Amino acid sequence: MIEAEVFRALADPTRRAVYERLAGREMTVSELKSGFAISQPAISQHLAALRGAGLVRERRQGRHAYYHIDPRGLAPLLDWIDRYRAFWPKRIEKLKDVLKGMDP
Amino acid sequence: MNHETEPNDATESVIVECELAEPPAKVWRALTEPALLASWLMPNDIRPDVGARFTFQAEADAGGGIIACEVLTAEPPHLLRYSWHGADAHRDASDRVLDSVVTFVLTETANGGTHLRLVHDGFPSGALQSVARFASATATVASLEVERARRRDRRSPVANAPARGGLRWVA
C-alpha cells in the first residue's frame, strides 16, 4: 500500500533529512552528500526509498542525475489526516446523542 | 454543530471542541465503558488503566481493520489519552510509523456541563511537521496547497465541512 510506503519512507530521520534538503532545491547526489556524514551509496539508498514511495523524482541531464521532491507524494499523509478531520466531528455528534440517552 | 477551532502551534493535529450538557463524570463513562464507547465510536475492549492495551474494530471512515491502542494517561473524569495505531501499522508490529495519540480533556463548566476538547495528533512521526516547516520557506507549499484543495474538492459534503482544527502549514 502506497500510504504505508510513504509513512515508512519518512519515518527514518536521515531519509527525512534528505527529503527536507531536497525540498529546498533540486540537487545531485554529490551535492546532497555534502550535508551528511554518510556515504554516497547510503544517500543513494535513501533516495531510492524516497523515489519508491513517490516522494522524490529524478531528472537526468547528460551524465548527471538531479533529484527533487514531488509534493504530490505527500498526498497519502494529507488524506490520512483528512480522514480524521472528517471522522471526529461526526463521532462527537454521535457522542452527544449517546449522552442524552444515558441513565443519569 | 458548534465545534470550534482553536489556533494551536501544532502543524499536524485534529482538534474538536464542544460543550456538552452532561457533567464530566457522565462523559467519562461514555469514553471508558466499552458498550457506551462502542455506541458512538467503534466496537472496542477499552479498559481505562494506564498501560492497558485495547483495540477498536475500525469502521470504514477510520480506514477499516484494527486500531491498536494503549492507555497512556487516565485521570478520571478529566483526562484520557491513548495511543492510536492505525490499521496499516497493525499489519506489522514493528511498523510504528502510523502512531498517533488521542487525548480527551474534560473540564466542568459553570452550568455543570462539560467542555470537551479532543486532540488527535502525533501523526506520522512528525514527518509532515518537518516537511511543512521546511516547505513553508519554499514555493513547494503552494503546490501542496493546490494538491490539497484539489483532493478536498473531490470529497463528500461531510468531508468538505470546514476544517475544525487540523493541519496547519505554518511553522
Say yes or no for a CB contact (<8 Å) between A92 and B16.
Answer: yes
Q: What is the domain range of residue A29?
A: 2-101
Shared-domain flag, residues B94 and B39: yes
Domain count, chain B: 2
Q: H helices then E strands: how many in chain B?
A: 6, 6
Same domain, B105 and B26: yes
Tell me: do B88 and B144 sit in the same domain.
no
By the 8 A CB rule, do A80 and B165 touch? no
The whole-number average pLDDT for the span A31-60 is: 93
- A24 burial (CB, 10 Å; 0-12 / 13-18 / 19+) is middle
Asked if B30's CB is within 8 angstroms of A99's CB, the reply is yes
Buried b (16+ CB within 10 A) or exposed e, A51-87: bebbbbbeeeeeeeebbbbbbbbbbbbbbbbbbbbbb
- Write the residue in A74, A75, A104 that is nearest to B131 by C-beta: A74
Q: Which of A24, A72, A89 lies at the smallest CB-CB distance from B3?
A: A89
Domain harbouring B27, CATH code? 3.30.530.20
Interval A65-81: pLDDT, tens? 999 988 888 887 777 77
Q: A21 to chain B: nearest residue by CA?
A: B134
Are B133 and B81 contained in the same domain? no
Residue B71 and residue B52 in contact, taking contact as beta carbons nearer than 8 Å: yes
Q: Specify whether B156 is located in the same domain as B110.
A: no
pTM score above 0.90:
no
For residue A54, is pLDDT > 80? yes
Element (DSSP H or E) covering residue B105: strand B99-108
Residue A32, domain CATH: 1.10.10.10
In a domain, B112, yes or no: yes
Residue range B67-75: mean pLDDT, rounded: 95
| Residue B7 covered by a domain | no
Contact A91 B125 (CB under 8 A): no
Domain that holds residue B143: 124-161
Look at the alpha carbons of A76, B163, B41, B100 in this order and tell me if their dihedral is positive or negative. Answer: positive
* Chain B 101-160, residues with CB within 8 Å of chain A CB atoms: 116, 118, 120, 123-125, 127-128, 130-131, 134-135, 137-138, 140, 143-144, 147-148, 151-152, 155, 158-159
Together in a domain, B75 and B148: no
Asked if residues B169 and B141 have their Cβ atoms less than 8 Å apart, the reply is yes
Confidence of residue B73 (pLDDT cuts 50, 70, 90): very high
DSSP state of B53: E
Cell for A41?
551509496
ipTM of the complex: 0.71
Classify residue B55: in a domain, yes or no. yes
Asked if residue B104 is part of any domain, the answer here is yes
Residues B73 and B110 in one domain: yes
Kindly state whether residue B88 falls inside one of the protein's structural domains.
Answer: yes
Partner B contacted by A53 (CB < 8 A): no
**Which residues, listed in sequence order, are joined to residue B67 by a DSSP beta bridge?**
B56
Interface contact B91-A7, CB threshold 8 A? no
- Residue B125 cell numbers, joined: 512521526
On whether any CB of chain B is under 8 Å from the CB of A88, the answer is yes
- What interhelical angle do B24-32 and A75-101 show, nearest 10? 120
Asked if residue A12 lies in contact with residue A45, where contact means CB atoms within 8 angstroms, the answer is no
Q: Is A35 on the interface with B (CB under 8 A)?
A: no
Q: Do B22 and B64 sit in the same domain of this protein?
A: yes
Task: Please tell me whether residues B110 and B68 are part of one structural domain.
Answer: yes
> B128 and B116 share a domain?
no
pLDDT per residue as tens digits for the range A9-21: 877 878 888 988 8
Q: How many domains does chain A have?
A: 1
CB contact under 8 A, B138 and A23: yes
Residue pLDDT, tens place only, B117-162: 999 987 654 555 555 555 444 445 555 555 666 666 554 433 333 3
- Residue A84 contacts B where some CB pair is shorter than 8 Å: yes
Q: How far apart are CA B88 and CA B67, in angstroms?
A: 9
Does B45 lie in the same domain as B58? yes
- The CB-side HSE value for B56 (13 A sphere, CA atoms) comes to 26
